Amino acid sequence: MELTDSLVAATAREYREREPLYAVEAEQLETLPAAFAAGEYGRRDAVWVVRWYYRRFLGDYPDADRRAAEDRFRDNDFEAVRDAIADAVVADGATEAVDALTALEAVDVPVASAFCMFLEPDVYVVVGPREWATLRDAGELDRPYPDPPSVADYERYLERCRILADRFDCGLWTLYRALWRLSD
């Protein structure tokens, strides 16, 4: 498969029309970045990001593993969550942001990338096995999905996504939607 600007645009549009979580994702992408930056959010907002990461798989992620991760995240002291998010907001790049977030229980690199996307959707994009596999199938990444990915793996993935978003003159959120749909 070759990624083209028309393919990315069409499949991103298809995501908007067919994916059941699109409306809530779009709403959260409008509100969470400002809320996180200002520190004006509650525990439920932070938990939502963790829930979204796993639930976007719509049952393809093992339910017991998903619930365990969500429960472990809820066990974090909320002030520690606030501190990690505040550190990620002012971080100098993906490595610092991901490092701040992975200090929390149940936040690995993929979940941290989800937080980053909802912190700054113009700068970051979530990583997961589906998106990675789509880029690999398109010849944009040369290795299979590293399970789990390291921060360096995320940096490589993010850089490739930024290059593609520039090439296709679209935002990272649009590119994500296309990659997700193309992985179906």
112-137 pLDDT, tens per residue? Answer: 999 999 999 999 999 999 999 999 99
- Token readout for 41 is 């959010």
pLDDT in tens, 46-100: 999 999 999 998 877 778 888 999 999 999 999 999 999 999 999 999 999 999 9
Burial 30-47 (b: 16+ CB within 10 A, else e): eebbebbeeeebeeebbb
